[in-house]
Structure 1
């Protein structure tokens, strides 16, 4: 089974204006720019390159309000429904008979192969991981090699206001394809519930796109981010 976020990587804290540690990013992502994919239904996460697009990215991030991160008291994954539910309301891919995990794998993967007799359960695929620029030949036998990242982590959502939401709204953000990316498993495990001030993808070329996607989720669900996280997001696109 694919998993969500793992433990925090303190070694990626304090990322500066030059993007900090990590690969230089070859811009090899085959995904669609978040500027052209506001619903998250198109493949992956493409790079934002031109000055005009970076200015548009900054404009999106600037709309996100800021607030201090609240307590984690009462948080559990179960507060957002059982993992990869197909019963969320008012989001793409819901109620199509396939679980959310397989929906986003199929959205982003290439050369898809399914279990015999199934229209949903993938057994292998090729994934171009935007976070590392690696191409992963994934098979279900080694499922954890690819994990599904909640771009805006669920415990972060909880601390920024989702603790006061209805259960149905929490199920929605947990399964919204706008907030989900299949990525390299070990890289995702290093993220934990970190915001952009303390964790960014290793590939520098995708960091502006990641910041925009984080902002898109925050704006869709009327959630703030912390001031340091917003500063880090803006830095990636300026």
Structure 2
């Protein structure tokens, strides 16, 4: 299990890991990040700043409107970059990830075959479409779908990712309850940065998930 003090918790460590992919021929697809919120940061403040609105229409939606995965090196892409960043004992063929170990934070599954690992968009593409991304151009949607800077991409079990689908936290939460604080914080961080809306039910669920997360309300 990863916690805020674990492998994914340290934003600096995560960025360092992504940048280190260059040694394997995979270059990060994101610019150097803005200063991220600290573990004791402003998640509740960011949640309060989100615009509450009814979910928009799915008219015109297609995953192809969010071009992914972008190249991050010769014959490798953002998926390879996330697999290498989030895994341990990684085995490479060129810069393609062909083996390793992944601890799926959504359901605590331990995975050793990259074919069993999905790269989840924390805020799903279809949810983003209903939350304002329908008004973006495809280039900006591609930036969102390949965002290695915000906590938008995470390697998890295929089973948990398929169960989640395009549902928001009022409809689906990770089976691993100890990850709820991190999941809610990541969801808020992504929606706040990309100026996406939340439904009233979604905001209520995020508020509930953040209760008891002492770091979320500290100044």
Measured against the shorter chain, the TM-score band is 0.7 to 0.9
Q: 1:101 aligned to 2:72? A: no
Aligned match of 1:41: 15
Aligned match of 1:12: none
Aligned match of 1:71: 57
Structure 1 residues 62 and 96, CA gap change in structure 2 (3 angstroms): farther
What is the correspondence of 1:202-213 to structure 2 with a 5 Å cutoff?
202-213=175-186
Check whether the contact 1:208–1:237 (CA below 8 A) recurs between aligned residues. yes
In the TM superposition, residue 26 of structure 1 has moved relative to its aligned partner by 9.7
Query: What is the aligned counterpart of 1:84 among 48, 52, 69?
Result: 69
Whole-angstrom distance in 2 between the partners of 1:101 and 1:221: 21
Which ranges of structure 2 fall in alignment gaps of 5 or more residues? 18-37, 212-219
SS in 2 for 1:41: helix
Check whether the contact 2:8–2:14 (CA below 8 A) recurs between aligned residues. no
Q: 1:197 aligned to 2:183? A: no
Whole-angstrom distance in 2 between the partners of 1:28 and 1:41: 15
Structure 1 residues 164 and 205, CA gap change in structure 2 (3 angstroms): same
What is the correspondence of 1:23-42 to structure 2 with a 5 Å cutoff?
30-33=6-9, 36-37=10-11, 41=15
Aligned match of 2:24: none
Q: 1:112 aligned to 2:90? A: yes
Aligned match of 1:159: 130
Whole-angstrom distance in 1 between the partners of 2:59 and 2:13: 31
TM-score if structure 2 supplies the norm length?
A: 0.77
Structure 1 residues 112 and 222, CA gap change in structure 2 (3 angstroms): same
Aligned match of 1:184: 157
Aligned match of 1:59: 45
In the TM superposition, residue 137 of structure 1 has moved relative to its aligned partner by 1.6
Whole-angstrom distance in 1 between the partners of 2:179 and 2:202: 16
Whole-angstrom distance in 2 between the partners of 1:103 and 1:26: 18
TM-score if structure 1 supplies the norm length?
A: 0.71
Which ranges of structure 1 fall in alignment gaps of 5 or more residues? 1-24, 44-51, 87-94
Q: 1:127 aligned to 2:102? A: yes
SS in 1 for 2:50: coil
Whole-angstrom distance in 2 between the partners of 1:56 and 1:66: 18
Higher relative contact order (CA 8 A, sep 6+): 1
Check whether the contact 1:65–1:225 (CA below 8 A) recurs between aligned residues. yes
